[in-house]
Structure formats: structure tokens, C-alpha cells
Structure 1
Amino acid sequence: MEKLKGIDVNVVNWKSIKQEGLDLEYAVPIPRAIASDLLRELESNLEYFTGELSRIKVFGKVYPLPRQQVAYGDPGITYTYSGVTVPALPWPAPVLALRDFLTALKGIEYDFVLVNKYRNGNDHMGEHRDNEPELDPTSPIASTISLGQERTFVLKHRDARKPGKDKKPIPPVKIELEHGSILLMNPPTNEIWYHSLPARKRLMGARINLTFRKMRR
């Protein structure tokens, strides 16, 4: 999208969020009108996985994915998580424009993106870490570029999830992901903090999230 090229990446106001093992950067660099145009373009052009690729394995059981999903990337890339291997389809133009925008912002050349569509507040993402071995651990995960309905992104320290006396009273970190926002999770965040997008049943609007990743080569 040509409008993205008109955004001055040198004046983006990044907010730094840091705690023990947590290193986040958050900004809303995409103006609302451009973000809305992008959302409409993605809604018109993207087709999401169906069949086996629209399911997820949890503790050996297979469930329908509680959101819609598709992946794009450079030739030959696949991504495996929760017992599912997804292929990277060829880059569509609006997604490629967002990838190039990220490169201009941060100088990182991402080669893969996982796109999630949350159709309404019932769609959600459970607690997890993006720590799969094929990810480049030195690169931040640009999770997320958010378009559409504002949703709450929750991060929880791994020690706060432990049972009994091993559990530490570390409060979760919550971020409201705005329309047109970008959240960067810098190392070592994904080793120590789990993240999720809880259901919010009262919300009716759709949200598209693009999580760009750099894979090991």
C-alpha cells in the first residue's frame, strides 16, 4: 500500500515496557484512516486455512482453532507449533507492504508472517510462548500489527504460572492493542513470559493481527 510509504518512520513515538525478562516496544504508527483502508483490503483479499490447518492440538486432543489463520512467507518456509505445520503461502501485496513498513521502522527483514483474524470477542488465543526452534531467537517478534477491534494483550511471567509454593506473585502485564498499533517483543521476552489474547464476549468487532517472524536459515 503506497500510503504506508508516506509515514515518517523517524518520528514514531515508541513506548518502552520493561520488567524482569520483559522487553516490549509499543507504538501506534499507522494513522487511523490508513489502518482502516488496510483492514478493508485484507478483509477483501485474504483467504484463511481450512480443514486440518484450521485445527490445533492441545494435550494430544484436536480442537477447532478459536480464530481464523493463514501464513505467508518466503519460498520453502514452514512453521510448526502445537502439532500443526503450516506452509508459507506467497506474499499478497498488502501483507508485503506491511512487511516492508516494518523493515523501514526497525531495519529487520522478516521472512514469515502468521495472520490471525478474530471475528469477534469470542475468538481468542490461549497462553503460550513463541519459542519454536525454527525461530531466530535474536530477532524481535513483531507481535502484533493490530488492525480493527481493540483487544487486551496479556503477558504472564512463567513463575506466576507455577503451582503451590513455587508460584511467585508477579502481576500480569496488560496492553490495549489499538487499531494501527505495533508491539515488538524483544528477547528474552518469549523465553520468560507467556502471552494471550483472552475472549471478550461483549466485543462485536473483528480484528486482524499480523505476527511477523524471522526464521533460522
Structure 2
Amino acid sequence: MKFVTLLKMAEKLNELIIDEIAWKSIKNDGLDIQYSIPIPRPLAFAIIKELDETLEYFTGDLAKIKVFGKIYPLPRQQVAYGDPGITYTYSNLTVPALPWPDPVLALRNFIFKIKGIKYNFVLVNKYRNGNDHMGEHRDNEPELDPTVPIASLSFGAERTFVLKHRDARKSGPNKKPIPPVSITLEHGSVLFMNPPTNEFWYHSLPKRKKIRGPRINLTFRKIR
């Protein structure tokens, strides 16, 4: 029964007509983002159910993070998948890429169909409710290919994605009055952070205490 569910999910993703996807483009001072909701809600619900039933998240040291020398539990659940031998280091945490599970491979194939890029790594974050969050950061680690966009897929509760220009975060005379950009990441949505976005813009997923439902986000990356 599980195989049939997964097979149908992959078939439905493959049936989506890429040329008919309507993209919203956001560009501003180094920011280059494309956003759309190409996955119909019934299929998106089937996908999050499949992910919920099959994915297992890191525990122990891989479920912790070091901030200013102190170690804290990650304010979300996390796991990583990718090609053999790949690791990814951020915030003094090195995560290994586990072997690709079939549901995640189906989503990688969907992104390849859209963008023509075969990503070799994905970071999966589960936000159990509105208290789970992601702090401000840039995905500009040296092992990432800076010419390849980061592809983000969202399933579940809608959350606000906030981007801030690096010069707007400064203090004193070097601070620039560049307003932040907020995007509501909807159920079944895809967002591409195209270069040079992560060179100039920080992004975060702030707390939203009124949100009770879970959200699963997959960020596909190309490791050099």
C-alpha cells in the first residue's frame, strides 16, 4: 500500500505542466526570488502525509546548535539527505547526507523538471508549530555552488519568510534604509533564491505563536 501511495505521488508530480506555472518575481538590490504554488492542495496534503510517515529526524548532537559559544537544542526538527559522501557545515554544525528516501527523490525530480538542475543535497526542516523557527542567516557557506539557486519547497501551515539586506542590519552611518521583504510560504509552494540573493540578503522564519499546525520545508542545494 505504501508503494502505491508513493508511486501515485510521483506520477501526479510528473503530470504537472511546468509551462503553465505562474511565477512571481521579486528583485531588489541583489535580491532575486521566484515564487509560485505549483502543487495542488490535494497533492500537497498527500505529500506532507507521506513525509510525516516516512522521515526520521536527527537526534543527539545533530539536533543541537552552537550560538555564541553556547549549545542549544535546534528550535525545529531537522534531517539531511544527499549523494554519497556529502556533508554540509553551518553554524559550527556538520550534518551528514543520509541516503535519498523515495518521497524526497520524487520532489528532487520535480524540481529538476522545473529548473533543469540536479541537486545533490537537501536539508529538511519540520516546524512542529509556530514556536519552532529559523533565525536570520545567509546560505553562503563555501561548499555551496554560488551559481546555483537554492530551491525551497513548503508543505503544511503557512509561515512568513522574511529577508533583510545585510546593509540594513548594520548600525550607525553604514546602515542603509532598505526595507525588509516578507513572503507568505503557502502549502505546496516553491521558492527559488537565485544568485546573488544569499550574498546580500539574510533570511529567517520568525516565531508565530498563534500557528498550531506543522510545516515541512525542503531546501535543495548544490554542494561543490
TM-score (normalizing by structure 2)? 0.95
Q: Name the residue aligned to 2:55.
A: 46
Q: Name the residue aligned to 2:4.
A: none
Deviation for aligned residue 1:182: 0.5
Per-residue CA deviations over 1:41-100 (Å, capped at 9, x if unaligned) read: 000000000000000111111111000000000000000000110000000011000000
Amino acid across the alignment from 2:134:
M
Deviation for aligned residue 1:3: 1.3
Please tell me whether residue 156 in structure 1 is matched to residue 164 in structure 2: yes
Per-residue CA deviations over 1:98-118 (Å, capped at 9, x if unaligned) read: 000000001011000000000
- 5+ residue gaps, structure 2: 1-9
Give the Cα–Cα distance (whole angstroms) in 1 for the partners of residues 57 and 183 of structure 2: 27
Please tell me whether residue 109 in structure 1 is matched to residue 109 in structure 2: no
Q: Name the residue aligned to 1:60.
A: 69
Give the Cα–Cα distance (whole angstroms) in 1 for the partners of residues 37 and 46 of structure 2: 15
**Pairing of 1:195-206 with structure 2 (within 5 A):** 195-206=203-214
Moved over 6 A (4+): none
Deviation for aligned residue 1:169: 1.1
- 5+ residue gaps, structure 1: none
Please tell me whether residue 176 in structure 1 is matched to residue 184 in structure 2: yes
Give the Cα–Cα distance (whole angstroms) in 1 for the partners of residues 38 and 103 of structure 2: 17
One of 199, 204, 216 as aligned partner of 1:208: 216
TM-score (normalizing by structure 1)? 0.98
Amino acid across the alignment from 2:148:
S
Q: Percent identity?
A: 73
Cα root mean square deviation, aligned: 0.5
**Pairing of 1:19-98 with structure 2 (within 5 A):** 19-98=28-107
How many residues are paired up? 215
Deviation for aligned residue 1:205: 0.6
